[in-house]
Structures are given as structure tokens and as C-alpha cells.
Amino acid sequence: MRTIDCKTEYRVNPIGLDSKTQRLSWVATEGRFQTAFQIQVKRNGHPLLDTGKVVSDREFYLLDEKLSSRDHISWRVRLYDEEEVCGEWSEEQTFEMGLLCEEDWQGALWIGREEKSAADPSVPAEAESGDAMNCLAKKAFFERRKEETEVFHPHLPAAYLRKRFACSKRGEARLYISARGVYEASLNGKRVGRDVLTPGPANYHFEIPYQTYDVGGLLEEGENTLEILLGDGWYRSTSGVDGDRNLYGDRVSALAKLEVEKTPVVVTDASWEASLGALAQNDLQQGEVYDAQKEEMPSDERRWQPVEVLGEDHTLLQAGNAVPVRAKESFPGKLILTPAGERVIDFSQNMAGVVEFRVNAHAGQAITLLHGETLDENGNFTQENFEDRKRHKEGGTYQMIHYTCKEGENHYQPHFTVMGFRYVKVITDLSLEGAVFTAHAVYSDMEQKAFFTSEIPLLNRLFENALWSLKGNFLGIPTDCPTRERAGWTGDAGIFVKTGLGLMNCETVFSHWLNQCRYGQFEDGRVANIAPPNNRPGMISQMLAGSVGWGDACILVPYAIYRWTGDIRILKDHYEMMTKWYAFLENLAKAKGEGEFHGDPEYRDYTMETGINYGEWCEMGTTPEQSMRNGNYDVATAYFSYSGKLLAEIAGILQKEEEAKHYREVSENARSAFLSSFTDGGVIHSKRQCQYVRPIAFGLLSEEQTKQAAADLNVLVEEMDDHLNTGFLTTPDLCGVLAENGFVATAYRLLLQEEMPGWLYSVRKGATTIWETWDGISKDGVPKDSLNHYAYGAIVSFLLDGVCGIHYSDRSTVIKPFVSKALGSASARVMTPKGEVQSGWYFEGDRCIFFIELPCNMQASVWLPNGQRETIGPGKTRLEITGGNLTL
């Protein structure tokens, strides 16, 4: 038995870690069952730990040794099989610690280019820069300004920073670097690393991530030049529903330390120089303005001036432990001419990313690129579905690149922006003959872990669409959409986390996002709806803070990660946040005034009557205003019970037995309150599908009550001609609830519904991502809302665990497929932390053949549609059902 896919902290040989413990993981292969393991660890080449033989079937180990800054750790593991045969040692794995103490940053100062404050109303729109974005933004701002106290914040140029230094010898070298803004670093003219949009999204009032890069191969003996291009990033760019700028500050700055053989060689300080250059404006949402004629500006020594020192505080620095954001897949563009005569590039895939282009031009000629997700009903370019022009302080999301050419060949790829798009409108007097346009998808550096196929092409495309919406919305944190808000909504994450973990290795992205949730928690325990904040305090960010189903993500997400990985640290790290949130719910339940309660007095303190709330958001046939009030009492009480049940389990895992007992009691009382207040003796009377799905999925009903509720739900679906009318919170569970309770045919008719509302309607309309609403493009071709929202993509969990039956958790695996001749056949592969699981089925005459393959060290209980069960182990298994008989 040997090991493959060894990782430290979910990454391969990472550097710059600051975690107190480190997860060392592996996958077993070439055997059946692991019964024990042995790990040997070295620190800086010297033995640190030998675990000896550890009797365990776990495929990970938490290293809990006191490590120091810059420590280089190597480790290897070997496994024992069920016959006590010891396998070979794995290949040596490594990781390296970052700078763990503030003192490690001694001498490094925050520096930037001296500039007038971006908040200074005296700064004209075109200040120090080209005016393409500023003119649009300034015009829109003054057209919509409601109060004289509002100040226009112009976009300012990117700063070019440099330091020349001598190096007497080459050797192991590390660059530790961060920004209050966004940066790109280069050493001797060569780009440092492949990461983009660093240091990434964070609540900069609580945390400033830094990155560590191996730059030994870029250093030269003698003279060297370290350069930093510094832009606005999440710190100063336009963000959120309101289009706020300068959310964390109005001055951007960089911080860096270069060490050779662990000895400081360069730090950012007053000896650095600053200049302007070609990047005149940059904004994460609005885009970039670039003048290639000014690319030579940094080579003009007269333009370099001393930097401005902007402080030396290192208290908020933390290692960026999540996987980095990078440019991933590339798509060639196809030039089309719209009915309106527009030149538009179609990249075939809706994505979050940037467009690289190469053109030949004369100096001074300009190109403007506008990015959009779709064409309008007439086949012309549009951005109307972004909607935010109605509310953004700066007039909307322009998603614009404005490029002024130099003489000859021009080559450009944006630096500090990312767009949501499939189509790009090209505005220029240039001939595009010979021009090359390439789109690059940009997202966190995650690997695809799940694959699905069936005989229904539209269903296969639905799976791909969900995958692409995940990619387009995981840029450092999970967000709602890449065009309009780019907000880390808790509700979206809570309903998608299970799906996300199955599709890609996004554990570290969710973990980083949970930290932002913790930072933003209110004193009374409410969890902010958006993390990190991307709006200033106001109605949209605070009015509904504490919405059930949204705030509950602080429990749902860590719980899901633990169940997938077995990593108890995620529960320990966020337990206080969970308990504060649940205490808020308990207090809210008890805070009802006289006349506000109409249920069983025995359960008065366990019924949630919350007033305005998100409720069953985006439920068909309701307006947003109705969603906020429509049945949120039953929604809130159901979540009060369900989250309490999960929290009780979490407390038990953490060996907090008294707390576990308390949460179990509250959860059970809330369940009784739900049954008392919102059912008739356990019978639900409603025409809303969500009011059946939620209590069934949450286990609030007895076995008999569940059967009745599922039957009634089935009738409702059939009465709607096999259409859904669930909203945001219950749609992911709809098909699973029906199938689990015997209504498999109905579940499949829902799944394969091609008319609106239905999952395949968007696919039939040409969607390549998941839409925010079921009618994102009307039957007449009119677009609205976001066309890249991952939330409704949670249905692909049903493709994996319902259609193909793969139910995986850290300690158990169940294969329970629901089959249908409507699909003909189906199969899926899921790379779990234990290895790849495969499951599928097909029909041959009256026989249904199931094929399953499990990795080493895994057993599974197989539940077949005829009610028979089998326990199987590693390797390939083939089963047949013929007339109720099982053949193994």
C-alpha cells in the first residue's frame, strides 16, 4: 500500500503558512484498507517528529508542533494495510512557515505614491489621468446625487514603485508582500508568481493578507530591481450594490520584505521611488484605462520621485492561506456583427475573467471594450441586465477597458480588474483584421473534483453550468455574481456549500470567508448578510442582518466542511461565532411582545416571529418585498430547530456535553413549536411547495407526517404541470425530498423540465452558467438580473447523490441511486478526500445494471431501488436488478 496526492493544508508544498497546526493528508492506493500509518517530520533538515506506528484508518494527521518563522518542514508517510504489511515511504513533502511575529516585519513600512486624496472634492475628474472612466462616473454621480454632503471619488492612477539594490550572492530567497490595495510584483523585469488580484478580498479593518513567493530564480548577483505595480483592489475600488468607493481607505500602499538565506536584503521604506505609468485608472468592477504611449514613462529617470511613507503598522498582517486566484482556462474569440452594426466578440462561455488582445495600430488610436453576459432580444450587445445603473453612485458597472495604442504591435491583458461576461463589444476605428482576442477565466486555483454524464445533453450542460458559476464566483471568497454586487452573501454560501465541496476543492476559500463572517459579527450575535462588507453601513447591509437562512450559514458551512474533510479545526475556530449567533436567536424568540404570539403558549419562547426578513427569497410569483414578509415566521422557526440540532452535534464533537444537551433541548422545543404553530397536528395546509420541502428536509416531521407531506408536495408539483415554485432556501432540496419519499418519477420530471420555471429552461435558452432567476432571459429573449449566480446550481448535488447515489461524508459512504429510464443511463465520479468514487447505472432490457468503484480504505452501503442493500469494499462492483432480484 502506498500514498498519492499528499498535501499540507489542502495544498501541495505550500510556503508562507501561519497556521498553528498543519493538516498533513494523503490518499491510499494499491491496497484495500489502511489500518495504521507512520509519519516522520524534519525541521530545517533535523528530525522533529516520528509518530511511530499509529493505529488509525484516518488519511490525515494534524501536526501540532511549535514552529517558528521561516521554518522549512519536510515530511513523509507510510501506511499499513489490513494484513499489517507496511508500505513504502511516500515522496518527501514540504511546507514552509511565513512570518509569524510582528517583529519579523521590522523595518518594513507601508509606502505609496504621493497623491491628492481620492476623497478630496477639489480633485477634478481627470486628475493625473486619462478621463475615460472618470468622465462617465462624474456625470452619473452628479445626476443622481441626493445630498450635498456626498463627495465624488475619482479613479486615480496606479502607482509604479521600485527599489534598486545590490545582491552579493544568489541563494534561497523569499519575497513577503502585501498591499492595502492590489499589487503585481516583478524582479529584474520578470513577474513574481502567477497569482492575480493579490492580496485578495478581506475585511481590511481586521485582516490584511500577505503572500510569500520563492524568488531565488529571479535574483541576480550584482544590481537588481524590485518593482511593485499598485492599484485600488478591494481596498479602494467600486464595490457592492451602492457602488461605494474607498470602503477601507482612500490611500493605497504596499508593504514588502525580501530575504536571501533568511537575511533581510530589501524592505519597503523611504528609500523607494514612485512614478506614474501607462495604467491611468483601475477598478475591480469598472475596468481599466491604459495608455500604451506612456509605457516608457517609468524608464524616464526624471519621473521617479521619493515614495510617501504611510505607516508601519503590522498588527493585521496574516498569511494568505487560501488557494490563490489565478488566470485559468482560455477561450478564443469569434467576431460577429450584430443587427445594430456593432462589432462583438463571442467567447462562447459566460465567465469571470479578462480579455487579452493583440492588435496593430498607429499611436493614439483607441480601443474600448465593453463586457456583457448576453445579447438582447434583437441580437445586439447589452448590459441592461446588470440593473445597478439605477443605484450605483458612479452610474453602474461599466466593465470597460479603454486602451490607447502605441505605434505598431500592441499587446494588453488587464492587471487589476475582472469582468463578468461572454460577449465583448469592441469600439474602435481600427481594422480588426489580424487582431487576436482571448478570454481568460479568473478564479481561485481550485481543481475540479466531480464529473457527471447522462444521455440527456441538456442535463449534462446543466452540470457544466453549475461548475462554471462556481468558478465565476469563487475569487478569494464565494460571491453572488461577478457583475453586479460581487458580495459574499451568507445565504448563497449556506445553500451551496455542500455542492461546492463536491465539485471543486474549495475548502480553503470557504475557510477564509468564514473568518470574514466572524470579523463582521455584531455584538448581539447577528451575522452580517455579506462578508467581508462591500458597502458602507446602511439599509442594504444592516437592515436585514440576522436573516434566518442567511445568518445560519455560520453553522451550516463549518458543519458541511467538517463532514466532508473530518477537519475538527473548522468547528473549533468558529464555535464562538456559532454560539453567539444561536444565543441571538434564542433571545429573539423570547423577545415577543404582548399580542405578537398566536401559537401554543407552551412553546412561546421557541417560536420565531422575526418581522421583516428575507424569507423564501425569489419564490416564484412573489416580489422581493413579499419575499421579505412571506411566511418568514415558519422559515425562522424551522431554522431555529435545524441549526440547533446541528449545533448540538457540533458541541458533542467538541466534547462540550452540557452545551450539546442545551442545544438539543432548544432544538426539540423549536421543532414542537413549529408543529404546534405552523401545522395542523403535523399536517401542512399550503399551496407553497417550500412549506413542505423545508420541514421534510430538516427532519421536523414524524415518519407518518413526512409521508403525508411528501404526498401532498407531489400533488402540488403535478398540479403545476411538473414545475417548481420554491424559492432560494428550499429549491436545492426539492428533487431529493421527492425522490427519498418515493416520488422518483416526479423528481425526474421536475429535473428535466424545459419550460420556465425549470432548470433546463435556461440551458435550452443557451445559458452557459446558472441564472439568478428562472426567467433571466424571457421567452421573448429579454434579459434581466444576473446570468451567473451559483445558488440554483445546488441542484447538481442531486445529480451526484440522487441520480448517481454518491453520499459521502468523512466517516461513511452510502451509494443510493434513484434510476429512471427517462435518462437512459447516468454516471458520476467524485474525488473525495479518501480517493475517487464512481457510480453509475444503465438499462439492458428489463435489467438495470449498476457499476460502482470505491478507492482504497473505503466501504460503502449500497441501497438499490428494489430495497435490497449490500456492503461493498474497495475496487469495482457490478450489480444487476431483474424483476426484484439482485445479482452481485
DSSP letter, residue 88: P
SS3 content of the chain, % helix, strand, coil (to 5): 25, 30, 45
Contacts of 300 by beta carbon, 8 Å cutoff, 6+ apart: none
Confidence of residue 250 (pLDDT cuts 50, 70, 90): very high
Confidence of residue 608 (pLDDT cuts 50, 70, 90): confident
Predicted confidence (pLDDT) at residue 813 exceeds the cutoff of 50? yes
End-to-end CA distance of the chain: 26
Across 161-180, average pLDDT: 95
DSSP letter, residue 622: -
The reported pLDDT for the residue numbered 129 is 42
Confidence of residue 243 (pLDDT cuts 50, 70, 90): confident
Cell numbers that stand for 732 in this block: 436545492
Structure confidence by residue, pLDDT tens digits, 763-786: 999 999 999 999 999 999 999 999
Q: 152-166, 232-246, 600-614: which range is least confident on average?
A: 600-614
Predicted confidence (pLDDT) at residue 800 exceeds the cutoff of 60? yes
Structure confidence by residue, pLDDT tens digits, 526-574: 999 999 998 877 655 566 788 889 999 999 999 999 999 999 999 999 9
Confidence of residue 130 (pLDDT cuts 50, 70, 90): very low
Structure confidence by residue, pLDDT tens digits, 361-411: 999 999 999 999 999 999 999 999 986 555 455 556 689 999 999 999 999
Across 800-827, average pLDDT: 96
DSSP string over 263-309: EEEEE-STT-EEE--SEEEEETTTEEEEEGGGTTGGG-GGG-EEPEE
* Cβ-based burial of 365 (10 A; exposed 0-12, middle 13-18, buried ≥19): middle
The reported pLDDT for the residue numbered 598 is 65
- In the numeric block, the cell 514603485 is attached to 161
Confidence of residue 690 (pLDDT cuts 50, 70, 90): very high
The reported pLDDT for the residue numbered 545 is 83
3-state SS assignment for residue 634: helix
SS3 annotation, 551-572: CCHHHHHHHHHHHHHCCCHHHH
The reported pLDDT for the residue numbered 627 is 63
Q: What amino acid is encoded at 732 in this protein?
A: P
Predicted confidence (pLDDT) at residue 883 exceeds the cutoff of 90? no
CA dist., res. 35 & res. 26, Å (int): 14
Give the E-state strand segments of 199-262 in sequence order.
208-214, 222-231, 253-260
Which residue from 342, 389, 162, 192 is spatially nearest to 254, judged by alpha carbons? 162
Across 579-592, average pLDDT: 93
Between 233 and 621, name the one with better pLDDT: 233
Structure confidence by residue, pLDDT tens digits, 328-368: 999 999 999 999 999 999 999 999 999 999 999 999 999 99
- The fraction of the chain above a pLDDT of 90, given in percent, is 83
Structure confidence by residue, pLDDT tens digits, 257-303: 999 999 999 999 999 999 999 999 999 999 999 999 999 877 788 88
* Cβ-based burial of 654 (10 A; exposed 0-12, middle 13-18, buried ≥19): middle
**What integer best gives the mean pLDDT of the chain?**
92
Residue 233 CA: distances (Å) to CA of 210, 249, 373, 396, 607: 14, 11, 23, 18, 44
Confidence of residue 684 (pLDDT cuts 50, 70, 90): very high
Contact indicator for 770, 791 with CB cutoff of 8 Å? yes
The reported pLDDT for the residue numbered 38 is 99
- The fraction of the chain above a pLDDT of 70, given in percent, is 91
Contact indicator for 756, 787 with CB cutoff of 8 Å? no
Structure confidence by residue, pLDDT tens digits, 420-464: 999 999 999 999 999 999 999 999 999 999 999 999 999 999 999
The reported pLDDT for the residue numbered 631 is 53
